[in-house]
Every structure is written in C-alpha cells, then in structure tokens.
Structure 1
Amino acid sequence: MDNQNQNPQDGNINIQLNEMIASGVYCNLALVNHSPSEFVVDFIQMMPGVQQANVRSRVILAPLHAKRVLAALQQNVANFEQQFGEIKEVEPFVLGGNNVQA
C-alpha cells in the first residue's frame, strides 16, 4: 500500500507502508527505557496466565522525536476522549528505575 506521492519541496514526504507492516501487531504492554541519546520502547504481548511475554516490536527514538510522539499521543487521546468519552484506567501505572511500564 503506497501513499500518494508528495513534493518534498512543499514540506511533504512520500511515506511507504507495505502490507506486512500495515497489518500491525497487537500489544497490551509497553516498556520505555532511555539513555542520554535515545528512548527505547518495547511493545509486548502478554497472555493471561503465561509467565513469558514476547516483545512484538522495538522502536528506538531520538529524544526530540520521543517528545513529539508524546505530544501526538496526548493530542490523539484528547481527541478520542472528546469523541468517545473518558478512557478509564483499570490497572495501576507502574514505575521502576529508568524503566516505565504502560
């Protein structure tokens, strides 16, 4: 699946999305770690009653891009809640060391 071509001089880029990536993966846990130069986000799928969880995808971001992703998520959550109602948390948010679990 290809998005339409855009002119880079107009500030737009051509983004390619192949079918394998477009289908996505289901994840119900994310772990975030950071160093001075990067953020690492592991997206994990946990199954109830199973002690082992599998990392389905790892995304490594520069600090500036991590902050932009945070802003985009905050805006999209606000838009979602305005349209569908508040998202209520049912599980506690856990912090540990440099690792944040969501």
Structure 2
Amino acid sequence: MDNNQNQDPNQDPNNININLNEMVAQGAYCNLALVNHSPSEFVVDFIQLMPGVQQANVRSRIILAPLHAKRVMAALQQNITNYEQQFGEIKEMEPFVLGQNNNVQA
C-alpha cells in the first residue's frame, strides 16, 4: 500500500494541522519559570507566584529534547527582538530570588 495514497496532492507535506482546544487556548498565567536539565532533556516549570505567599504553584511543566529547547530559545529570542522593535526595549529588573523580599520601590 502506498503511504501517499490518502494525502491531498496539493497539500504541502511540511504543513502541520494543529488543534487547540478551548481549555488549552485559555492559557495559564505564570510569572516565574524554573529550568533544569539532564543529559537527555530540559524541564521547564512555569509557576504562578503570588505576592506575600510562601507557596508557589507549578501551572505547567514542559519537557523538551535538547534540540527542541534550543529551537524554543531561538524562537523566543526572535520574538523578543521583534517585540522590542515594535514596542521598545524590555527593561530588566534585579534578579528574582525565592525567599528574599523582592519588593520594588519607586
């Protein structure tokens, strides 16, 4: 049986149809990410940290192969460059350290 038998001849084989259900489309607000790695994978925990609360909740964990982690990093860098060209530089603040008083005073 020919594997291409059921494919639309006009469809680009590099196109991927991506489904996004309503629950995933809502997204999850996160204001902290922790990244760890092993020889075979990168693990990114996206966390919602509420001010004045000592408990933080992991909202999502993404596990990536090293090559995909590098591709995500490049895509983020390109999008940050595009964003800053359109809206101006993103100003960095003091590094956030868990357990420290991270209040910013104007």
d(CA) in 1 for partners of 2:96, 2:71:
22
- Structure 1 stretches of 4+ moved >6 Å: none
Unaligned ranges ≥5, structure 1: 1-5, 95-102
Q: CA deviation at 1:90?
A: 1.6
d(CA) in 2 for partners of 1:76, 1:31:
20
User: Is the strand fraction higher in 1 or 2?
Assistant: 1
From 7, 11, 21, give the equivalent of 1:7. 11
- Please give the TM-score of this superposition, normalised by the length of structure 2: 0.79
Aligned to 2:18, the other structure's residue is in SS state: coil
Larger radius of gyration, structure 1 or 2? 2
Question: Which residue of the partner structure matches residue 39 of structure 1?
Answer: 42
Unaligned ranges ≥5, structure 2: 1-9, 98-106
CA RMSD of aligned residues (A): 1.6
Question: Which residue of the partner structure matches residue 30 of structure 2?
Answer: 27
d(CA) in 1 for partners of 2:96, 2:60:
21
